[in-house]
Structure 1
Protein backbone atom coordinates (compact mmCIF):
# COMPACT_ATOMS: atom_id res chain seq x y z
CA UNK A 1 0.00 0.00 0.00
CA UNK A 2 1.30 3.50 -0.79
CA UNK A 3 2.21 5.86 2.01
CA UNK A 4 -0.05 8.82 2.72
CA UNK A 5 1.00 12.40 3.39
CA UNK A 6 -0.65 13.23 6.70
CA UNK A 7 -1.86 16.48 8.25
CA UNK A 8 -2.19 18.23 4.92
CA UNK A 9 -4.96 20.42 3.55
CA UNK A 10 -5.82 21.34 -0.02
CA UNK A 11 -5.93 25.12 -0.35
CA UNK A 12 -6.61 27.68 -3.04
CA UNK A 13 -3.43 29.62 -3.68
CA UNK A 14 -3.66 33.32 -2.82
CA UNK A 15 -2.83 36.10 -5.25
CA UNK A 16 0.83 36.98 -5.77
CA UNK A 17 2.32 34.11 -3.78
CA UNK A 18 5.94 33.60 -4.87
CA UNK A 19 7.40 30.14 -5.26
CA UNK A 20 9.67 28.11 -7.50
CA UNK A 21 9.74 24.99 -9.63
CA UNK A 22 12.81 22.78 -9.60
CA UNK A 23 13.77 19.63 -11.47
CA UNK A 24 15.79 17.99 -8.69
CA UNK A 25 15.23 17.15 -5.02
CA UNK A 26 15.68 19.82 -2.39
CA UNK A 27 16.87 19.23 1.15
CA UNK A 28 15.11 20.06 4.38
CA UNK A 29 17.58 22.90 4.99
CA UNK A 30 16.96 24.36 1.53
CA UNK A 31 13.18 24.16 1.91
CA UNK A 32 13.25 25.76 5.36
CA UNK A 33 15.54 28.56 4.16
CA UNK A 34 13.26 29.23 1.19
CA UNK A 35 10.18 29.47 3.38
CA UNK A 36 11.94 31.68 5.92
CA UNK A 37 13.03 33.97 3.07
CA UNK A 38 9.47 34.56 1.86
CA UNK A 39 8.76 31.81 -0.66
CA UNK A 40 5.36 30.20 -0.16
CA UNK A 41 5.37 27.19 -2.47
CA UNK A 42 7.39 24.68 -4.43
CA UNK A 43 6.51 22.74 -7.59
CA UNK A 44 8.13 19.33 -8.12
CA UNK A 45 8.07 16.68 -10.83
CA UNK A 46 6.49 13.31 -11.47
CA UNK A 47 7.48 10.92 -14.31
CA UNK A 48 5.48 10.35 -17.49
CA UNK A 49 6.47 6.73 -18.19
CA UNK A 50 5.67 3.53 -16.34
CA UNK A 51 8.10 2.80 -13.53
CA UNK A 52 9.08 -0.57 -15.02
CA UNK A 53 10.24 1.36 -18.11
CA UNK A 54 11.78 4.42 -16.47
CA UNK A 55 12.53 3.83 -12.76
CA UNK A 56 12.42 6.76 -10.38
CA UNK A 57 15.37 9.06 -10.93
CA UNK A 58 16.76 12.12 -9.19
CA UNK A 59 14.37 14.55 -10.92
CA UNK A 60 11.25 12.87 -9.48
CA UNK A 61 9.66 13.71 -6.15
CA UNK A 62 9.43 11.01 -3.51
CA UNK A 63 7.26 10.56 -0.44
CA UNK A 64 10.18 11.51 1.81
CA UNK A 65 11.00 14.66 -0.12
CA UNK A 66 7.35 15.73 -0.15
CA UNK A 67 7.33 15.45 3.63
CA UNK A 68 10.53 17.50 3.89
CA UNK A 69 9.05 20.27 1.76
CA UNK A 70 5.74 20.31 3.63
CA UNK A 71 7.47 20.26 7.03
CA UNK A 72 9.32 23.44 6.03
CA UNK A 73 6.05 25.38 5.67
CA UNK A 74 6.12 25.50 1.87
CA UNK A 75 2.99 24.51 -0.03
CA UNK A 76 3.41 21.95 -2.78
CA UNK A 77 1.94 20.83 -6.08
CA UNK A 78 3.17 18.84 -9.06
CA UNK A 79 4.05 18.92 -12.75
CA UNK A 80 4.87 16.02 -15.07
CA UNK A 81 8.08 15.73 -17.07
CA UNK A 82 7.73 16.53 -20.76
CA UNK A 83 9.03 14.33 -23.59
CA UNK A 84 12.14 15.29 -25.55
CA UNK A 85 11.72 18.24 -27.96
CA UNK A 86 9.85 17.37 -31.13
CA UNK A 87 7.56 14.78 -29.54
CA UNK A 88 4.34 13.81 -31.34
CA UNK A 89 0.98 14.37 -29.66
CA UNK A 90 -1.96 11.97 -29.79
CA UNK A 91 -4.78 10.86 -27.54
CA UNK A 92 -3.34 7.43 -26.73
CA UNK A 93 -0.14 9.01 -25.44
CA UNK A 94 -2.11 11.56 -23.43
CA UNK A 95 -4.14 8.86 -21.68
CA UNK A 96 -1.00 6.89 -20.88
CA UNK A 97 0.90 9.85 -19.45
CA UNK A 98 -2.09 11.12 -17.44
CA UNK A 99 -2.64 7.70 -15.90
CA UNK A 100 1.04 7.46 -14.94
CA UNK A 101 1.01 10.90 -13.31
CA UNK A 102 -1.92 9.87 -11.13
CA UNK A 103 -0.37 6.52 -10.20
CA UNK A 104 2.90 8.12 -9.17
CA UNK A 105 1.27 10.95 -7.20
CA UNK A 106 -0.76 8.34 -5.33
CA UNK A 107 2.38 6.27 -4.63
CA UNK A 108 3.94 9.41 -3.11
CA UNK A 109 0.94 9.96 -0.86
CA UNK A 110 -0.59 13.03 -2.50
CA UNK A 111 -4.27 13.50 -1.69
CA UNK A 112 -6.94 13.69 -4.36
CA UNK A 113 -7.80 17.24 -5.36
CA UNK A 114 -4.27 18.65 -5.58
CA UNK A 115 -3.13 20.13 -8.89
CA UNK A 116 -0.92 18.10 -11.21
CA UNK A 117 0.15 19.96 -14.35
CA UNK A 118 0.80 18.62 -17.82
CA UNK A 119 3.92 20.18 -19.39
CA UNK A 120 2.84 21.23 -22.90
CA UNK A 121 5.86 22.46 -24.83
CA UNK A 122 8.27 21.58 -27.63
CA UNK A 123 5.60 19.65 -29.57
CA UNK A 124 6.47 18.47 -33.07
CA UNK A 125 5.28 20.86 -35.76
CA UNK A 126 3.87 17.77 -37.51
CA UNK A 127 1.28 17.39 -34.71
CA UNK A 128 -1.95 19.14 -35.67
CA UNK A 129 -3.87 21.32 -33.20
CA UNK A 130 -6.61 18.66 -33.05
CA UNK A 131 -4.04 15.99 -32.15
CA UNK A 132 -2.63 18.24 -29.43
CA UNK A 133 -6.13 18.91 -28.10
CA UNK A 134 -6.81 15.16 -28.05
CA UNK A 135 -3.55 14.57 -26.18
CA UNK A 136 -4.47 17.22 -23.60
CA UNK A 137 -8.05 16.03 -23.12
CA UNK A 138 -7.14 12.36 -22.81
CA UNK A 139 -4.46 13.33 -20.27
CA UNK A 140 -7.06 15.39 -18.44
CA UNK A 141 -9.56 12.51 -18.32
CA UNK A 142 -6.99 9.94 -17.20
CA UNK A 143 -5.82 12.17 -14.36
CA UNK A 144 -9.20 13.46 -13.23
CA UNK A 145 -10.76 10.00 -13.05
CA UNK A 146 -8.25 9.32 -10.29
CA UNK A 147 -9.43 12.37 -8.38
CA UNK A 148 -6.54 14.72 -9.05
CA UNK A 149 -7.03 18.25 -10.41
CA UNK A 150 -5.50 18.61 -13.90
CA UNK A 151 -3.67 21.72 -15.03
CA UNK A 152 -1.50 22.60 -18.01
CA UNK A 153 1.85 24.39 -18.21
CA UNK A 154 1.84 26.28 -21.51
CA UNK A 155 5.37 26.59 -22.82
CA UNK A 156 7.20 27.27 -26.04
CA UNK A 157 6.08 25.46 -29.22
CA UNK A 158 2.88 24.27 -27.57
CA UNK A 159 1.07 24.22 -30.93
CA UNK A 160 -2.20 25.86 -29.84
CA UNK A 161 -3.77 29.30 -30.21
CA UNK A 162 -5.97 30.92 -27.56
CA UNK A 163 -9.22 29.40 -28.87
CA UNK A 164 -7.73 25.93 -29.05
CA UNK A 165 -6.08 26.19 -25.63
CA UNK A 166 -8.89 27.77 -23.60
CA UNK A 167 -11.91 26.35 -25.46
CA UNK A 168 -10.55 23.21 -27.11
CA UNK A 169 -9.08 21.70 -23.93
CA UNK A 170 -10.87 20.82 -20.69
CA UNK A 171 -8.49 22.48 -18.25
CA UNK A 172 -9.49 25.02 -15.62
CA UNK A 173 -5.91 25.63 -14.42
CA UNK A 174 -3.36 27.27 -16.75
CA UNK A 175 0.32 28.06 -16.09
CA UNK A 176 2.15 30.58 -18.30
CA UNK A 177 5.78 29.71 -19.06
CA UNK A 178 8.68 32.15 -19.15
CA UNK A 179 8.24 32.79 -22.86
CA UNK A 180 7.27 36.11 -24.39
CA UNK A 181 5.78 34.69 -27.59
CA UNK A 182 4.42 31.15 -27.45
CA UNK A 183 1.87 30.96 -24.60
CA UNK A 184 -1.32 32.36 -26.19
CA UNK A 185 -2.69 35.65 -24.93
CA UNK A 186 -6.16 34.95 -23.48
CA UNK A 187 -9.18 36.37 -25.30
CA UNK A 188 -11.47 38.68 -23.28
CA UNK A 189 -13.79 35.77 -22.42
CA UNK A 190 -11.05 33.28 -21.50
CA UNK A 191 -10.27 32.51 -17.88
CA UNK A 192 -6.54 33.09 -18.39
CA UNK A 193 -3.60 31.91 -16.31
CA UNK A 194 -3.29 31.12 -12.60
CA UNK A 195 0.50 30.75 -12.46
CA UNK A 196 3.12 32.85 -14.20
CA UNK A 197 6.75 31.91 -14.68
CA UNK A 198 8.33 35.29 -15.48
CA UNK A 199 11.69 36.08 -17.01
CA UNK A 200 12.15 38.69 -14.26
CA UNK A 201 10.40 39.47 -10.99
CA UNK A 202 9.06 42.97 -10.50
CA UNK A 203 10.58 45.09 -7.77
CA UNK A 204 7.37 44.64 -5.77
CA UNK A 205 7.56 40.88 -6.04
CA UNK A 206 11.25 40.79 -5.20
CA UNK A 207 10.57 43.07 -2.25
CA UNK A 208 8.54 40.27 -0.61
CA UNK A 209 11.72 38.20 -0.25
CA UNK A 210 14.36 38.49 2.46
CA UNK A 211 18.03 37.47 2.31
CA UNK A 212 17.62 36.21 -1.26
CA UNK A 213 20.05 36.45 -4.17
CA UNK A 214 19.00 35.54 -7.71
CA UNK A 215 22.01 34.34 -9.69
CA UNK A 216 21.53 34.80 -13.44
CA UNK A 217 22.98 31.84 -15.34
CA UNK A 218 21.92 32.54 -18.93
CA UNK A 219 22.55 36.27 -19.29
CA UNK A 220 18.98 37.58 -19.33
CA UNK A 221 20.18 40.94 -18.11
CA UNK A 222 18.19 43.43 -16.05
CA UNK A 223 17.30 43.08 -12.41
CA UNK A 224 15.68 40.21 -10.50
CA UNK A 225 16.16 37.37 -13.02
CA UNK A 226 13.62 34.60 -12.47
CA UNK A 227 14.29 31.93 -15.10
CA UNK A 228 16.96 29.20 -14.99
CA UNK A 229 18.75 30.74 -12.05
CA UNK A 230 20.58 29.62 -8.94
CA UNK A 231 18.69 30.75 -5.88
CA UNK A 232 20.61 31.73 -2.75
CA UNK A 233 18.32 31.82 0.28
CA UNK A 234 20.09 32.64 3.50
CA UNK A 235 23.14 30.38 3.51
CA UNK A 236 21.57 27.76 1.23
CA UNK A 237 21.85 27.58 -2.57
CA UNK A 238 19.22 25.85 -4.71
CA UNK A 239 20.52 25.34 -8.24
CA UNK A 240 18.61 25.51 -11.53
CA UNK A 241 15.24 26.88 -10.46
CA UNK A 242 12.52 28.90 -12.14
CA UNK A 243 10.49 31.36 -10.08
CA UNK A 244 6.69 31.52 -10.25
CA UNK A 245 3.86 33.61 -8.88
CA UNK A 246 0.14 32.93 -8.56
CA UNK A 247 -2.94 34.95 -9.40
CA UNK A 248 -6.69 34.38 -9.40
CA UNK A 249 -7.89 33.96 -12.97
CA UNK A 250 -10.77 35.90 -14.55
CA UNK A 251 -13.29 33.24 -13.56
CA UNK A 252 -12.20 33.16 -9.93
CA UNK A 253 -10.04 30.04 -10.27
CA UNK A 254 -6.85 29.36 -8.33
CA UNK A 255 -4.14 26.77 -8.15
CA UNK A 256 -4.94 24.01 -5.67
CA UNK A 257 -1.94 23.08 -3.59
CA UNK A 258 -1.34 21.15 -0.39
CA UNK A 259 0.12 22.54 2.80
CA UNK A 260 0.86 20.92 6.13
CA UNK A 261 -1.52 22.03 8.89
Structure 2
Protein backbone atom coordinates (compact mmCIF):
# COMPACT_ATOMS: atom_id res chain seq x y z
CA UNK A 1 0.00 0.00 0.00
CA UNK A 2 1.33 3.43 -0.98
CA UNK A 3 2.13 5.83 1.84
CA UNK A 4 -0.08 8.90 1.82
CA UNK A 5 1.40 12.18 0.72
CA UNK A 6 2.32 14.54 3.58
CA UNK A 7 -0.56 16.98 3.61
CA UNK A 8 -4.00 17.89 4.90
CA UNK A 9 -7.27 17.50 2.98
CA UNK A 10 -8.77 20.96 3.07
CA UNK A 11 -11.71 22.88 1.63
CA UNK A 12 -10.34 25.64 -0.58
CA UNK A 13 -10.73 29.32 0.10
CA UNK A 14 -11.10 32.10 -2.48
CA UNK A 15 -7.59 31.89 -3.83
CA UNK A 16 -5.37 31.92 -6.92
CA UNK A 17 -3.42 29.03 -8.37
CA UNK A 18 -2.54 27.47 -11.70
CA UNK A 19 -2.59 24.33 -13.79
CA UNK A 20 0.33 23.19 -15.92
CA UNK A 21 1.61 20.23 -17.92
CA UNK A 22 5.19 21.09 -16.86
CA UNK A 23 6.80 19.09 -14.08
CA UNK A 24 7.80 21.18 -11.08
CA UNK A 25 10.51 20.81 -8.48
CA UNK A 26 10.41 22.13 -4.92
CA UNK A 27 12.29 25.33 -5.70
CA UNK A 28 9.93 26.20 -8.55
CA UNK A 29 6.86 25.47 -6.42
CA UNK A 30 8.29 27.69 -3.68
CA UNK A 31 8.74 30.53 -6.20
CA UNK A 32 5.05 30.37 -7.07
CA UNK A 33 4.04 30.16 -3.41
CA UNK A 34 6.17 33.20 -2.57
CA UNK A 35 4.46 35.12 -5.38
CA UNK A 36 0.99 34.57 -3.91
CA UNK A 37 -0.10 31.37 -5.66
CA UNK A 38 -1.86 28.98 -3.31
CA UNK A 39 -2.40 25.80 -5.32
CA UNK A 40 -1.39 23.81 -8.36
CA UNK A 41 -3.35 21.37 -10.53
CA UNK A 42 -1.13 18.74 -12.17
CA UNK A 43 -1.89 16.02 -14.67
CA UNK A 44 -2.22 12.27 -14.25
CA UNK A 45 -2.27 9.61 -16.94
CA UNK A 46 -5.28 8.16 -18.75
CA UNK A 47 -3.88 4.63 -18.39
CA UNK A 48 -3.11 2.72 -15.21
CA UNK A 49 0.39 4.13 -14.95
CA UNK A 50 2.16 6.51 -12.58
CA UNK A 51 5.00 8.51 -14.12
CA UNK A 52 8.49 8.45 -12.64
CA UNK A 53 10.11 11.19 -14.77
CA UNK A 54 10.86 14.40 -12.89
CA UNK A 55 11.66 16.81 -15.73
CA UNK A 56 9.97 18.01 -18.90
CA UNK A 57 6.22 17.85 -19.43
CA UNK A 58 3.71 15.11 -18.74
CA UNK A 59 2.09 13.23 -15.90
CA UNK A 60 2.92 13.82 -12.25
CA UNK A 61 5.24 11.53 -10.30
CA UNK A 62 5.17 10.79 -6.58
CA UNK A 63 8.44 12.71 -6.15
CA UNK A 64 6.98 15.74 -7.91
CA UNK A 65 3.83 15.68 -5.78
CA UNK A 66 5.98 15.65 -2.64
CA UNK A 67 8.07 18.52 -4.02
CA UNK A 68 5.05 20.68 -4.84
CA UNK A 69 3.67 20.25 -1.33
CA UNK A 70 7.07 20.85 0.25
CA UNK A 71 7.33 24.03 -1.81
CA UNK A 72 4.17 25.36 -0.18
CA UNK A 73 1.44 24.75 -2.78
CA UNK A 74 -1.78 22.81 -2.31
CA UNK A 75 -2.33 20.15 -4.95
CA UNK A 76 -5.10 18.51 -7.00
CA UNK A 77 -4.82 16.01 -9.89
CA UNK A 78 -6.57 16.25 -13.27
CA UNK A 79 -6.58 13.47 -15.84
CA UNK A 80 -5.31 14.26 -19.33
CA UNK A 81 -7.93 14.72 -22.05
CA UNK A 82 -7.71 13.38 -25.60
CA UNK A 83 -8.56 15.43 -28.67
CA UNK A 84 -11.40 14.19 -30.89
CA UNK A 85 -12.38 11.73 -28.18
CA UNK A 86 -15.46 9.58 -28.81
CA UNK A 87 -16.63 8.75 -25.27
CA UNK A 88 -18.61 5.73 -24.09
CA UNK A 89 -19.90 4.55 -20.72
CA UNK A 90 -17.32 1.74 -20.62
CA UNK A 91 -14.50 4.17 -21.32
CA UNK A 92 -15.76 6.33 -18.48
CA UNK A 93 -15.53 3.39 -16.10
CA UNK A 94 -12.05 2.46 -17.33
CA UNK A 95 -10.60 5.97 -17.31
CA UNK A 96 -12.26 6.87 -14.01
CA UNK A 97 -10.86 3.71 -12.44
CA UNK A 98 -7.42 4.58 -13.81
CA UNK A 99 -7.68 8.14 -12.46
CA UNK A 100 -8.53 6.84 -9.00
CA UNK A 101 -5.78 4.20 -9.10
CA UNK A 102 -3.20 6.76 -10.17
CA UNK A 103 -4.29 9.25 -7.52
CA UNK A 104 -4.02 6.52 -4.88
CA UNK A 105 -0.65 5.34 -6.19
CA UNK A 106 0.64 8.91 -5.92
CA UNK A 107 -0.49 8.97 -2.30
CA UNK A 108 -3.52 11.27 -2.45
CA UNK A 109 -5.83 10.61 0.51
CA UNK A 110 -9.56 10.17 0.09
CA UNK A 111 -11.64 13.34 0.04
CA UNK A 112 -9.52 15.22 -2.52
CA UNK A 113 -10.98 16.42 -5.83
CA UNK A 114 -9.82 14.44 -8.86
CA UNK A 115 -10.74 16.23 -12.09
CA UNK A 116 -12.08 14.88 -15.38
CA UNK A 117 -11.24 17.00 -18.44
CA UNK A 118 -14.06 16.95 -21.01
CA UNK A 119 -13.33 18.90 -24.18
CA UNK A 120 -12.71 18.50 -27.92
CA UNK A 121 -15.28 15.71 -28.19
CA UNK A 122 -15.51 13.99 -31.58
CA UNK A 123 -18.11 15.60 -33.83
CA UNK A 124 -19.89 12.27 -34.33
CA UNK A 125 -20.52 11.77 -30.59
CA UNK A 126 -23.82 12.66 -28.95
CA UNK A 127 -24.53 14.57 -25.77
CA UNK A 128 -25.93 11.40 -24.21
CA UNK A 129 -22.68 9.55 -24.87
CA UNK A 130 -20.75 12.33 -23.12
CA UNK A 131 -23.19 12.20 -20.19
CA UNK A 132 -22.85 8.42 -19.91
CA UNK A 133 -19.06 8.67 -20.05
CA UNK A 134 -18.84 11.45 -17.46
CA UNK A 135 -21.21 9.79 -15.00
CA UNK A 136 -19.38 6.46 -15.27
CA UNK A 137 -16.08 8.28 -14.69
CA UNK A 138 -17.51 10.07 -11.65
CA UNK A 139 -18.89 6.82 -10.23
CA UNK A 140 -15.51 5.08 -10.49
CA UNK A 141 -13.69 7.98 -8.84
CA UNK A 142 -16.21 8.43 -6.03
CA UNK A 143 -16.22 4.68 -5.35
CA UNK A 144 -12.53 5.03 -4.53
CA UNK A 145 -13.25 7.78 -2.00
CA UNK A 146 -12.30 10.80 -4.12
CA UNK A 147 -14.48 13.76 -5.08
CA UNK A 148 -15.05 13.79 -8.85
CA UNK A 149 -14.77 17.20 -10.49
CA UNK A 150 -15.50 18.18 -14.09
CA UNK A 151 -13.38 20.56 -16.16
CA UNK A 152 -15.72 21.91 -18.83
CA UNK A 153 -13.70 22.72 -21.92
CA UNK A 154 -14.69 23.83 -25.42
CA UNK A 155 -16.70 21.46 -27.61
CA UNK A 156 -17.83 19.31 -24.70
CA UNK A 157 -21.36 18.89 -26.17
CA UNK A 158 -22.74 19.69 -22.71
CA UNK A 159 -25.35 22.42 -22.21
CA UNK A 160 -26.21 24.56 -19.21
CA UNK A 161 -29.14 22.36 -18.19
CA UNK A 162 -27.38 19.06 -18.94
CA UNK A 163 -24.40 20.03 -16.78
CA UNK A 164 -26.62 20.38 -13.73
CA UNK A 165 -29.58 18.09 -14.34
CA UNK A 166 -27.99 15.02 -15.94
CA UNK A 167 -24.52 14.79 -14.42
CA UNK A 168 -23.65 13.48 -10.97
CA UNK A 169 -20.81 15.96 -10.39
CA UNK A 170 -20.94 18.60 -7.66
CA UNK A 171 -17.61 20.27 -8.49
CA UNK A 172 -17.19 22.19 -11.75
CA UNK A 173 -14.16 23.95 -13.24
CA UNK A 174 -14.66 26.40 -16.10
CA UNK A 175 -12.10 26.59 -18.89
CA UNK A 176 -10.76 29.91 -20.15
CA UNK A 177 -12.70 29.38 -23.39
CA UNK A 178 -16.37 30.26 -23.72
CA UNK A 179 -18.37 27.35 -22.30
CA UNK A 180 -21.92 27.05 -20.92
CA UNK A 181 -22.63 27.96 -17.32
CA UNK A 182 -23.75 25.22 -14.94
CA UNK A 183 -27.43 25.81 -14.28
CA UNK A 184 -28.35 26.50 -10.63
CA UNK A 185 -24.90 25.60 -9.28
CA UNK A 186 -22.38 27.53 -11.39
CA UNK A 187 -18.63 27.02 -11.17
CA UNK A 188 -16.26 26.85 -8.21
CA UNK A 189 -13.04 27.08 -10.20
CA UNK A 190 -12.34 29.36 -13.17
CA UNK A 191 -9.43 29.11 -15.57
CA UNK A 192 -8.10 32.52 -16.54
CA UNK A 193 -5.16 33.77 -18.60
CA UNK A 194 -2.25 31.71 -19.91
CA UNK A 195 1.28 32.95 -19.30
CA UNK A 196 4.87 31.94 -18.79
CA UNK A 197 5.95 32.61 -15.21
CA UNK A 198 9.25 31.61 -13.62
CA UNK A 199 9.96 29.79 -16.89
CA UNK A 200 6.83 27.63 -16.63
CA UNK A 201 3.86 27.84 -19.00
CA UNK A 202 0.71 27.96 -16.85
CA UNK A 203 -3.00 28.65 -16.95
CA UNK A 204 -4.00 30.82 -14.00
CA UNK A 205 -6.97 29.49 -12.00
CA UNK A 206 -9.23 31.09 -9.40
CA UNK A 207 -11.25 29.17 -6.82
CA UNK A 208 -14.31 30.38 -4.96
CA UNK A 209 -17.81 29.41 -3.89
CA UNK A 210 -20.45 28.24 -6.35
CA UNK A 211 -24.15 29.10 -6.03
CA UNK A 212 -24.77 26.06 -3.82
CA UNK A 213 -21.89 26.94 -1.46
CA UNK A 214 -19.63 24.30 -2.98
CA UNK A 215 -15.83 24.55 -3.10
CA UNK A 216 -13.01 22.30 -4.30
CA UNK A 217 -11.12 20.11 -1.82
CA UNK A 218 -7.37 19.87 -2.22
CA UNK A 219 -4.37 18.43 -0.44
CA UNK A 220 -2.77 21.33 1.41
CA UNK A 221 0.84 21.29 2.63
CA UNK A 222 1.45 20.02 6.14
CA UNK A 223 3.14 22.95 7.94
CA UNK A 224 5.47 20.52 9.68
CA UNK A 225 6.62 19.10 6.32
CA UNK A 226 7.27 22.35 4.42
CA UNK A 227 10.69 22.39 2.84
CA UNK A 228 11.11 18.60 3.05
CA UNK A 229 11.22 16.61 -0.20
CA UNK A 230 13.33 13.98 -1.90
CA UNK A 231 12.99 15.72 -5.28
CA UNK A 232 15.23 18.69 -6.03
CA UNK A 233 16.28 19.98 -9.44
- TM-score using structure 2 length: 0.90
Are residues 1:256 and 2:209 paired? no
Number of aligned residue pairs: give it: 219
> Residue 43 of structure 1 corresponds to which residue in structure 2?
41
On the 8 A contact 1:79/1:116 being kept in 2, the answer is yes
On the 8 A contact 1:123/1:158 being kept in 2, the answer is yes
Are residues 1:69 and 2:62 paired? no
Secondary structure (helix, strand or coil) at the match of 1:45 reads: strand
**Deviation per CA, 1:145-182, whole angstroms, max 9, x where unpaired?**
000110000001001101111111100000000102xx
Are residues 1:241 and 2:207 paired? no
On the 8 A contact 1:47/1:56 being kept in 2, the answer is no
After the TM superposition, which parts of structure 1 deviate over 4 Å for at least 4 consecutive aligned residues?
A: 54-58
Give the alignment partner of residue 130 of structure 2, picking from 122, 129, 132: 132
Separation of aligned partners in 1, 2:21 and 2:218: 18
> Residue 196 of structure 2 corresponds to which residue in structure 1?
230
Shift of 1:50: 2.7
Separation of aligned partners in 2, 1:165 and 1:49: 26
> Residue 210 of structure 1 corresponds to which residue in structure 2?
none
Separation of aligned partners in 2, 1:120 and 1:250: 22
> Residue 228 of structure 2 corresponds to which residue in structure 1?
none
**Deviation per CA, 1:198-233, whole angstroms, max 9, x where unpaired?**
2xxxxxxxxxxxxxxxxxxxxxxxxxxx22x2113x
Separation of aligned partners in 2, 1:60 and 1:41: 17
Are residues 1:191 and 2:185 paired? yes
On the 8 A contact 2:51/2:61 being kept in 1, the answer is no
Separation of aligned partners in 2, 1:60 and 1:66: 11
Unmatched 5+ stretches in structure 2 = 223-233
- TM-score using structure 1 length: 0.81
1:206-217 equivalent positions in 2, closer than 5 A: none
Shift of 1:56: 5.9
Separation of aligned partners in 2, 1:168 and 1:56: 37
**Deviation per CA, 1:4-25, whole angstroms, max 9, x where unpaired?**
213x21111112x110101121
Shift of 1:242: 0.5
Unmatched 5+ stretches in structure 1 = 199-225
> Residue 2 of structure 1 corresponds to which residue in structure 2?
2
**Structure with the greater alpha carbon radius of gyration:** 1
Secondary structure (helix, strand or coil) at the match of 1:174 reads: strand
